[in-house]
Structure 1
Amino acid sequence: MPGREALDIMKVAEAQPVRDAKPSLMGMTRDDLADALRSIGIEERQVRMRVAQLWHWIYLRGVPSFERMTNVSKDLRAVLAERFVIGRPEIVAEQVSVDGTRKWLLRFPPRGAGRPVEVETVYIPEEGRGTLCVSSQVGCTLTCSFCHTGTQKLVRNLTKEEIVAQIVVARERLGDFPHMSAEPGAIVPREGRFVSNIVMMGMGEPLYNFDAVRDALLVASDGEGLSLSKRRITLSTSGVVPLIPRAGAEIGTMLAISLHAVRDDLRDELVPLNRKYPIAALMEACRAYPGLSNARRITFEYVMLKGVNDSPADARELVRLLRGIPAKINLIPFNPWPGSAYACSDWDTIETFAEVVNRAGYASPIRTPRGRDILAACGQLKSASERLKVRERLALEAMIGGADED
């Protein structure tokens, strides 16, 4: 599959385009599962054991149905199947970049009186690890001028179920669950390519969906389920200053800040949220981040825009701003997208910028662009229902059986 055109879109089997009337156990915390079990009459003395069983099967084994839960009695499995589902979104499309990056367009069923919504999730295979970029909202409110997602209006927040489901779907497609060793259709990656890291850097601002993101990441980091270390989960924010302390205290993952400018006037343009929470307030919140240390550094993301924010003077000011903060600076070559007003900095300019930062004692890796050919690179995510041309949209809808358009 690598090497196909960017619009080489494939239908994936076992889609579930219509919401089941039954509630889903996907994304439930332990407390949620306990309440669900009580609602079907499980005695209190059995609740803890049954929660552990469900947790094991849903999150560690990744099974899609109750029938596979072999240590649960047949009678209880029947009751669970009658009252609940283990929900999965529809995989509308899957694209594979020449560099092995995978992007999924996922469609979630309606919520209440709403309509189906679509988000993009990206898997980036690297030597020794595999990183999954997860979305927290459908669209975004922040309108960052260099970001493709920012051109799509916010539709709604994702639920914790929908956030966790992105991780589960990726692991299923990669053959990453124990029950899938011989699963037909699983895409088994090369050795070492499994979901070992998560970055909340997909569509949306995670801190504007705080409760759902918190609960989903606590599910993901539970050692008896999906079992991702909090040091391998990074939450990225554009700078929602009042919620940064809560993120450290209640979620406890690594923190990344989408900075991109060292002056308020420029950051007001690139990241309009800066008008509400300017750079000085953001730096103060970073210095006070719970658990901050050399072992738990904050990552500052800095997209390199030609002639905009890439001068040696900008690099020196960046060093001054971050003084005293245990930090790493990710320099991100700008990833072009249709209609963007920006260009990527020249490579020599990026290296000069990095040298200034490195000499000041900060690690400043230059991020290798991944998935550009399928618009899966940093800042390029946007739901296909918004992006595809009419002709391409009609072809896609025909492939998936005439599903409703958003």
Structure 2
Amino acid sequence: MKRMLLTAVVFSMIAGAIAFAQSEADQFYIKAMQASAPAEKARLLKEYISKFSGQGNQYDSYAYANLAIIQYQSKQYNAETIGLAEKAAASGKIDDQMKGAMYQIVADIHLKTNQFDKAKAAAQQAIQHANAAKGKEGEAANAKMWTQTIGQAYVLTAKAQEKAGDIKGAIDSFNHAYTTLKSPAVLGELKKIGKGYYDAQKYAQAEPIFRYLAGTGLDADSMTILAQILNKQGKEAEALQMFKDMYAKNKTGSMAYNIGIMLANEAKTNPALVNDAVAFLLDASFLDTKRSKQCTDIARSLFFGQDKEWNDRIKMIDESQALIKEWTDAINSKYGDKSEEDLTPDERREFRKLKELIDKETVAVNNLVAQMKAGSSKFDALVASAKKRVGK
């Protein structure tokens, strides 16, 4: 897509256009076209134009056209090449395929030399010409070639519009190119432009591009970038609703993850959103295998973070277990394998006191563990529900 395809198809037309030569001019043109080296062919065509053009010879227009092609392919993006192509196209004496190639050459050179309005105008000429030629009788065999010409000309139009600052127009032209060519490469060209704006932090320009790309449903990465763009511009609510709508139509791990993360961020100031965030993140854990653990961990943290006493319970269990160990060690250290009957009255009282403390603390630990298990069971139920919801 970076460079128009002016291939052997064009040159095959040249040979077919050459009739039997009878004049000196005709013979010279044939000699030029038979030269194998492009530089030699260009030299001879220039000599032909110098000697014979303007005298009504049959190959003048093809000499302009073929020299324009050679100079374009050798990257001579200048006024001379444009002039040759325009003269050939305006002559009305070259075939339709060659004429279409001339318009494309003019458009691309103007684009490369920052003449964006002229580039757009030439590309539009290519589109109009190709549409007209495609409809002619006997052109059915060339329909695919004309479709390629139209699509490529729309890409040239789009690039000229984007360079001129008409982002909306460029997106529309890229859309025409994509619907014409059905090629992912067209969307790749547009994404590259959008990424350039994004990397330059020109989010207002990047936003409509990634809105379009995300809307195609063909590129999950564009959806992620769009969410980031909207967030950076303070449009979180809009981004969230957009992703929810998309997710309702097409449940993907990437969308579920984006929604879950956005809800998690909003839940910092609006705790009522925690449950929704957990649900989407758990969906993502089943739909996106690469992020499965990450999504589950975030969901678990959010879920248990709602219970303000959760961390306190963990701390209390740790403290109680430390006390139980301390008291158990004290019993073992002081009394070893002695039975209670072997202890003195004072030892027996101390032993019983420590046992009571251990038993009491054990009951407290068991109660705390039971509470935490209840919370874990609720989370496990949410995991099971998510698994069923996404059909896994």
Q: Which has the higher contact order (CA 8 A, sep 6+)?
A: 1
TM range, normalised to the smaller chain? Answer: under 0.3
Please identify which structure carries the higher strand content: 1
TM-score (norm 2): 0.26
Q: Which has the higher helix share?
A: 2
Structure with max Cα Rg? 2
